[in-house]
């Protein structure tokens, strides 16, 4: 299995599928439309027949069950993060990793900086050459699902219920299931294979909102600006200074944050974009209230409509849904144990397609892929962890046949 995993993963990451948050199209990039055809060819290669691509480039397929049981799904996304280049990824495969620095064309990948590497001494590591991300998020998930289904197809004596799979575009920009047809997918429950280190299972995630602040200033000559100029850029700085210093770099666990993702401006116009995150619904609402109050305060100070706010919710904590369907977590926990791995139940400090799908009627916790340091040039994955993910998918299928 190891060689097959490496070969398939190396093929799949060669395609640039970076999503574009500024696009008005869906999928947001033409490369994802092309990639959906690539995935169909891979599914045909392993022997699946019920394969389709809809008008939105969702790729779905079915493996009929050989025993009665609930229909289960496995889902991964095809796009990679726009935070780092995904163009011309050149993977480096290090067998029997010895814990030393990995010298690359880009920045060195060192266990001094990323201590998790020490967990994989003696194992096989894959990273990029440092000039791009690797694409394990989430082409590792796609690789693992395809590999697990191939095993089930090649071993028809292994009992399993009907299995549905889906590969989605634009997850990284929060649009992954905007047009996903849950009714047609026809599953009792599903799992996103989109997590991190080996053994990880998550059914809690952030409540998420985005706030876009626009500031309209008044530009006059600075030599005669007294009591006349309204400097939009300075108001933007003032806005940010009024927020609590609860930011990603000083929070972890169940702590939420305000995250300034972009700022732009001059005297006449300025803008700030924030994402707002919290696990607790009340704290989430309070953070949104703080943003609104700052807008109100600054408009009282500088004049009505100087500061305008466009704030909207993106997704919610799936724990409210999953806790009503806890058996699917119990199945996954047992599947991970049966793969010889200690389960690590941890909250997702982010969101997945599964969070939104859970509120669309498809309970969908998240399972590990084995990757680390997603969205940047320090991303890497352990192949032995990928093998454990494949075994976990197979185990979930066989355990579900008994439920």
Residues with catalytic function: 79, 171
What separation in angstroms does the CA of 75 have from each of 85, 104, 158, 289?
24, 32, 21, 35
Rounded to 5 degrees, what are φ and ψ at 263? -145, 140
Reduce the secondary structure of 330-341 to three states and give it as a string.
HHHHHHHHHCCC
What separation in angstroms does the CA of 365 have from each of 95, 114, 184?
32, 27, 20
- 145, containing H or E segment: helix 136-154
Spacing of C-alpha 2 from chain mean position:
25
Length of the chain: 403
Residue 86 CB partners (closer than 8 Å, separation 6+): 16, 17, 18, 80, 132, 133, 135
In angstroms, the CA 371 to CA 142 distance is 13
Q: If you ran DSSP here, which 8-state letter would residue 71 be given?
A: -
What separation in angstroms does the CA of 291 have from each of 254, 255, 259, 283?
21, 18, 12, 13
Bridge partners of 208, per DSSP, are 277, 315
8 Å CB contact between 370 and 381: yes
Query: Among 382, 361, 356, 379, which residue's Cα sits nearest to residue 370?
Result: 382
What separation in angstroms does the CA of 15 have from each of 3, 32, 38, 80?
20, 9, 9, 10
Q: What is the DSSP string of 205-219?
A: B-EEEEEEEEEE-B-
Bridge partners of 77, per DSSP, are 168
């Amino acid at each position: 299995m190891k060689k097959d995993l490496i070969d398939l993963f190396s093929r799949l990451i060669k395609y640039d599928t970076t999503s574009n948050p500024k696009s008005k199209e869906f999928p947001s990039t033409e490369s994802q439309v092309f990639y959906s055809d690539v995935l169909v060819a891979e599914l045909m290669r392993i022997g699946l027949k019920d394969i389709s691509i809809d008008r939105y480039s969702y790729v779905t397929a079915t493996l009929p069950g050989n025993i009665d049981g609930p229909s289960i799904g496995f889902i991964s996304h095809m796009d990679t993060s726009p935070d780092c280049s995904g163009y011309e990824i050149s993977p480096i495969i290090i067998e029997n990793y010895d814990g030393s620095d990995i010298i690359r064309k880009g920045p060195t990948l060192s266990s001094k900086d990323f201590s998790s590497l020490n967990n994989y001494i003696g194992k096989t590591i894959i990273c990029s050459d440092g000039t791009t991300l690797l694409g394990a998020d989430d082409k590792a998930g796609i690789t693992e699902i395809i590999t697990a289904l191939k095993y089930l197809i090649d071993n028809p004596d292994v009992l399993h219920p009907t299995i549905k799979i889906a590969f989605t575009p634009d997850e990284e920009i929060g649009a992954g299931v905007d047009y996903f047809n849950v009714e047609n997918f026809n599953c009792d429950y599903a799992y996103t294979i989109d997590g991190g280190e080996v053994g990880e299972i998550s059914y809690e995630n952030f409540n998420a909102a985005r706030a876009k602040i626009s500031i309209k200033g008044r530009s006059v000559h600075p030599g005669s600006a007294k009591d006349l100029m309204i400097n939009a850029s300075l108001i933007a700085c003032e806005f940010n200074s009024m927020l609590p210093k609860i930011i990603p770099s000083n929070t972890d666990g169940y702590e939420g944050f305000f995250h300034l993702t972009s700022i732009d401006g001059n005297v006449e116009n300025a803008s700030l974009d924030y994402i707002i995150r919290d696990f607790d619904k009340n704290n989430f609402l309070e953070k949104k209230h703080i943003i609104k109050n700052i807008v109100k305060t600054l408009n009282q100070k500088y004049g009505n409509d100087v500061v305008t706010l466009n704030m909207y919710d993106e997704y919610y904590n799936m724990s409210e849904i999953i806790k009503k369907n806890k058996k699917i977590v119990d199945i996954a926990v047992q599947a991970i144990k049966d793969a010889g791995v200690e389960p690590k139940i941890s909250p997702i400090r982010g969101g997945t397609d599964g969070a939104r799908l859970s509120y669309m009627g498809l309970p969908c916790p998240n399972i590990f892929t084995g990757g680390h340091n997603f969205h940047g040039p320090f991303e890497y994955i352990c192949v032995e962890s990928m093998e454990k993910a494949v075994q976990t998918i197979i185990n979930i299928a066989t355990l579900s046949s008994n439920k």
